[in-house]
Structure 1
Amino acid sequence: MRVLLVTHEAMLRHDTGPWHPERSERLAAVIRGVQAGHLEVVGIDSPMIDPVALRTVHRPDYIEMVRRASMEGRVELDPDTPAGPGSWEAALRAAGSGPAAVELLRAGSAEVAFLAIRPPGHHALADRAMGFCLFNNIAITARMLADEGERVAIVDWDIHHGNATQDTFLMDPAVLYVSLHQFPFYPGTGWVEEVGIGPGAGRTVNLSVPVNTAGDFYSEAFARAVIPILEQFEPDWILVSAGYDGHSEDPIAEASLLESDYQMMASAVRVTVPDRRLILFLEGGYNLAAMERSVTATIAGIAGEPIPSRTGLQSPEGAWRILDLLMEAQRPYWKF
């Protein structure tokens, strides 16, 4: 099995400052993690997307604002999200990575793709930057596929809710959005009762878990809810917002995931979609060593390697109640 690794050195030039957690060193850690896995790696450079294509998700005036901010020197687009001279090219290459991966997977160049990209995307709204994100990389690719008549499932295991991805597809029956995230936590969205609107009802699935939730809950949630929903939806493609900030060693969140938990999730999504139809988009993750190990574990899950037995960390009692609430909220749309 081959993994397509999509990245570009220009993304290193998106300068967030010396103390910002979303820093350029993250890419080297992720690339090492992919290369340490037991799959053949096929590497390509991320192309720049045509800025016009960003309009499928973002407003033209916002796109122009990002371009101008990047040309003017360092600008704070929101309290967490700077842009500077290298940000425009980096963001265009991050957004162009998904469509390029789709084309190469369709051509048979690899069986799965991992996008080592920055800035991340799942908080980037139609009209503003948010949470380290400039353009919504995964939503741009999902919109492209949906417009081509494909059924797309997005699985977001970043510890933060992908508020902008959810907003993009809230009324779209062709795109399923499944998020597992800490709540209450930034950005303050993604409660279990948010299930979609109108024709998109049942296409938004939120597992909003309390602090210190561990892999025992994630394993049960995938077995009882996530995988049954994916199987019933029958996606043509699965896109993963692969954030690693839920790791127990990450400095930003208060979750208790281990490398083996990322391996479990990757293995689970891999078997619910045909070959050459799985793309992972890097989102968060701010402990470099933990992220590197977790990416390697993700590749092991994709390769179908045995998942190590879980030890140690256990989820709080409140997490299990969330799973019950989720299944109650989703029962009108799915069979459990």
Structure 2
Amino acid sequence: MRNISLMKHPISLIKCFKPFISSFSSSSTNNVSEAKLIFSVAPAMGHNEKTHPECSSRVPAILRALEKAELTPKFRGSEIIRHQSFKKATTEDIASVHSRTYISSLEKTLKGASKNSIVHFGSSTDTYATATTFTESLVAAGAGLSLVDYVVTASKVNKNPPVGFALIRPPGHHAIPDGPMGFCFFGNVAIAARYAQRVHGLKRVFIIDFDVHHGNGTNDIFSDDPDIFFLSTHQEGIYPGTGQINDTGYGNGEGATLNLPLPKGSGDKAMRTVFDHVIAPSAQKFKPDIILVSAGYDAHVLDPIASLQFTTGTYYMLSSNIKQLATDLCGGRCVFFLEGGYNLESLSDSVAESFRALIGEPSMATEVDKLDILHDEPSAKVHKAIRRIKQLHFL
């Protein structure tokens, strides 16, 4: 549930908080102050092509892993909250980053699709849709917006608000203003950034994208905006071929875009170095009001889509460090949005590790990571890229 009036009537924050609480699982309503993590689920089960890597098996696999790891409200009570009901994003929400022509065209096209048909977009068959994709994309975006509402509202009554995690699909960071791209239809993180500004008055938004692919859609949407800092780490030389180091934004947004393509074979060592020398100082310099995360898990060494070698431990480290950044810089306001990740086992284990990190529990990565399959990282190339980034962004 979203409530714009919270901005106008801060004296009644506690009363306004009750409608948010009522839409969560009953086991989680006893003591909201104990909540460390709130997650929403939008699995888009109708948006499915069985042989496609971005299929409807992804979110259910994550939920099974969370249940097995006892990282759900059933086992954690009020420490972990699952958002049980939320509104779809509105056309106005979507139109904050996408053209109305595109939105109406997509809706019309998919309304005319038969129940079992598959519609493909672009010159390749990579991006598909079904008759339910438009509605389910609105649900996915709405699931993210509801977490922004909750986290921002909680931060006004709690110095340590829960981190949000939207387990949603279709993913969003490739969707461009005028069309779908790379499995994506609506830019979930981009929509949430504009929503945080428009509804909650949060001026400065810091977006971290650690998907293995460059978030070209998010990049393009905010390239000229000085108040939204977009930082992407991704494998160099792969789809979509964008995100070069010298892409730093333009116009008023010059310097508010940071792209760090990582050489093939980069892994945990590279990302720890990148976090310390690029991500953290960039956020500290920008001084955000909220941090949003495009959390892609396809840089894992077991993922079939690319050739980096992150481990589940890498994702624990990233999640833990990003949470700490939010605590230090913006009152703990932070929401993660699921993007890629196509090996169901590594995806599920890695999201579970993120959950552990976000509630402050020790990592269990050593129980699942197969470190013997890793090879030496191209450290010299990584350090060279970091030096160039520092020159461009005065870090």
TM-score by length of structure 2 reads 0.79
| Structure 1 residue matching 2:326: 3-state secondary structure | coil
- Residue 153 of structure 1 contacts residue 175 of structure 1 at CA under 8 Å; is this kept in 2? yes
Match of 1:331 in 2: 391
Amino acid across the alignment from 2:51: W
Cα-to-partner distance string for 1:161-196 (whole Å, 9 max, x where unaligned): 000100111111111111110110000001111111
| Structure 1 residue matching 2:165: 3-state secondary structure | strand
Match of 1:207 in 2: 260
| CA distance in structure 2 between the aligned counterparts of 1:245 and 1:315, rounded to whole angstroms | 19
- Residue 14 of structure 1 contacts residue 90 of structure 1 at CA under 8 Å; is this kept in 2? yes
| CA distance in structure 2 between the aligned counterparts of 1:176 and 1:167, rounded to whole angstroms | 12
- Residue 93 of structure 2 contacts residue 195 of structure 2 at CA under 8 Å; is this kept in 1? no
* Higher RCO (CA-CA < 8 Å; seq separation 6+): 1
Greater fraction of residues in helix:
2
| Greater Cα shift, 54-63 or 24-33 | 24-33
RMSD in angstroms over aligned alpha carbons? 2.1
- Residue 141 of structure 2 contacts residue 186 of structure 2 at CA under 8 Å; is this kept in 1? yes
Match of 1:292 in 2: 348
| CA distance in structure 2 between the aligned counterparts of 1:175 and 1:12, rounded to whole angstroms | 32
| Greater Cα shift, 125-134 or 201-210 | 201-210
Amino acid across the alignment from 2:342: Y
| CA distance in structure 2 between the aligned counterparts of 1:285 and 1:46, rounded to whole angstroms | 25
| Structure 2 residue matching 1:331: 3-state secondary structure | helix
Match of 2:138 in 1: 92
Match of 1:271 in 2: 324
Cα-to-partner distance string for 1:196-250 (whole Å, 9 max, x where unaligned): 1122122111110121211111111111111111112121111110111011111
Q: Give the drift of 1:276.
A: 4.7
Q: Give the drift of 1:286.
A: 0.4
| CA distance in structure 1 between the aligned counterparts of 2:132 and 2:376, rounded to whole angstroms | 41
Choose which of 78, 81, 86 in structure 2 pairs with 1:42: 81
Runs of 4+ in 1 over 6 A off after TM superposition: none
Match of 1:246 in 2: 299
- Tell me whether 1:14 sits opposite 2:75 in the alignment: no
| Structure 1 residue matching 2:208: 3-state secondary structure | strand
Q: Give the drift of 1:18.
A: 1.6
- Residue 163 of structure 2 contacts residue 332 of structure 2 at CA under 8 Å; is this kept in 1? yes
Match of 2:120 in 1: 76
Query: Aligned ranges for residues 36-185 of structure 1 at < 5 Å?
Result: 36=69, 37=71, 40-44=79-83, 45-73=85-113, 74-78=118-122, 79-108=125-154, 111-147=162-198, 148-185=201-238
- Tell me whether 1:28 sits opposite 2:60 in the alignment: yes
| Greater Cα shift, 268-277 or 131-140 | 268-277
- Residue 8 of structure 1 contacts residue 46 of structure 1 at CA under 8 Å; is this kept in 2? no
* Alignment length (residue pairs): 332
Q: Give the drift of 1:80.
A: 1.3
| CA distance in structure 1 between the aligned counterparts of 2:197 and 2:380, rounded to whole angstroms | 33
- Residue 260 of structure 2 contacts residue 389 of structure 2 at CA under 8 Å; is this kept in 1? no
| CA distance in structure 2 between the aligned counterparts of 1:137 and 1:289, rounded to whole angstroms | 24
Q: Give the drift of 1:27.
A: 0.7
- Tell me whether 1:219 sits opposite 2:276 in the alignment: no
Cα-to-partner distance string for 1:275-320 (whole Å, 9 max, x where unaligned): 5511010000001111110001111222333456895535533x54
Kindly, what percent of the aligned residue pairs are identical?
34
Pick closer, same or farther for the CA change 1:195–1:330 going to 2, 3 Å.
farther
Match of 1:5 in 2: 39
Pick closer, same or farther for the CA change 1:7–1:217 going to 2, 3 Å.
same
| Greater Cα shift, 189-198 or 35-44 | 35-44
Amino acid across the alignment from 1:95: A
Q: Give the drift of 1:255.
A: 1.2
Q: Give the drift of 1:111.
A: 0.6
Amino acid across the alignment from 2:141: A
- Tell me whether 1:280 sits opposite 2:340 in the alignment: no
TM-score by length of structure 1 reads 0.92
